[in-house]
Amino acid sequence: MDVSGKKALVIGGTSGIGLATSKRLAALGAEVIAISRNPDKAADALEGVTLMQCDVLDRDALDTLFKSCGPFDILVSAATGGSRARGAFLDMDIEGYKASFAKLWGYANVLQLGTPHLSADGTIVLVSGTPARKPNPGQVAIGSVGAAVEALARAVAQEIAPRRLNVVAPGTIDTPMSALTGTEREEAYRRQTANNLIPRAGSADEVAQGILFVIQNDFVTGTTIDVDGGRLLA
């Protein structure tokens, strides 16, 4: 796919990986609409990109948004969905575990409501994460959600062909999701990636490059692309 002149919707497109993806698509000549719950925060960072507000858990609002923006050629969802339960499963508040699946419900809404407005040769990308296949201790919730996202994508890809659907799974990525700062932040990332084949945190732009790969390569669908610094092999 030559993305120049294509219409692209990037949900979660005003921060972190979504922001980097919006910038890359716009730089390649795509008509980009970046969508998030708080789009104003990216007003100065996304020149030439249309900003829209929506919560992917609000099905009525999301349906209205897709109808107003359609048809479109590229649909990327990098929305986190909300809070994530952490810690040992046997000690975990089950309601916190359930709430972690907001990301899955958001992706399900995006796929079900967005696909009917996707062009016949369009493509969809969801963002998961390496805990889906290699959870560290304390990552049972995020690992469960990620595995469900990847299974959903493999199943739905078969239903919507020849339109394409893929998943990009980042490893440890330095994004605004981390509240740590300064040396504390650097040490946390150093500790988390010490055993990786590439022992550092990745950047949002490196993940965005992986997203662009599955958008542009017309022979890739129903699969998960890892951008993880070799974490799965560590």
Per-domain residue ranges for the chain? 7-227
Instruction: Tell me how far apart the alpha carbons of residues 143 and 164 are, in angstroms, rounded to a whole number.
Output: 24
Confidence of residue 149 (pLDDT cuts 50, 70, 90): very high
Between CA 40 and CA 61 the distance in angstroms is 18
**pLDDT over threshold 80, residue 65:** yes
Locus of tokens 């104003």? 40
Confidence of residue 43 (pLDDT cuts 50, 70, 90): confident
CB–CB of 79/124 below 8 Å?
no
Q: Is 203 left (phi over 0), alpha (psi -120 to 50) or beta?
A: beta
pLDDT at 201: 95
Question: How far is Cα 26 from Cα 9, in angstroms, rounded to an integer?
Answer: 11
Cis peptide before 71 (omega within 30 of 0): yes
Say how far apart CA 157 and CA 211 lie, in whole Å.
Answer: 16
Query: b/e per residue, 99-109, with b = 16+ CB within 10 A?
Result: bbbbbbebbbb
Q: Which residues contact 232 (CB under 8 A, 6 or more apart)?
A: 130, 133, 134, 171, 226
pLDDT in tens, 176-210: 777 778 888 889 999 999 999 999 999 999 999 99
Which pLDDT tens digit goes with each residue over 75-114?
A: 999 987 778 899 999 999 999 999 999 999 999 999 999 9
Position with higher pLDDT, 46 vs 164: 164
Q: What is the mean pLDDT of residues 106-129?
A: 97
Fold of 7-227: Rossmann fold (3.40.50)
Mean predicted lDDT score pLDDT of the chain: 95
| Mean pLDDT confidence for 152-162 | 98
* Residues 170, 150 contacting (CB under 8 angstroms): no
Residue position matching structure tokens 């993806």: 21
Q: What pLDDT score was predicted for residue 80?
A: 78
Residue 160 clears pLDDT 80, i.e. is over it: yes
Q: Which helix (H) or strand (E) holds 173?
A: strand 173-174
For residue 205, what pLDDT is reported? Answer: 97
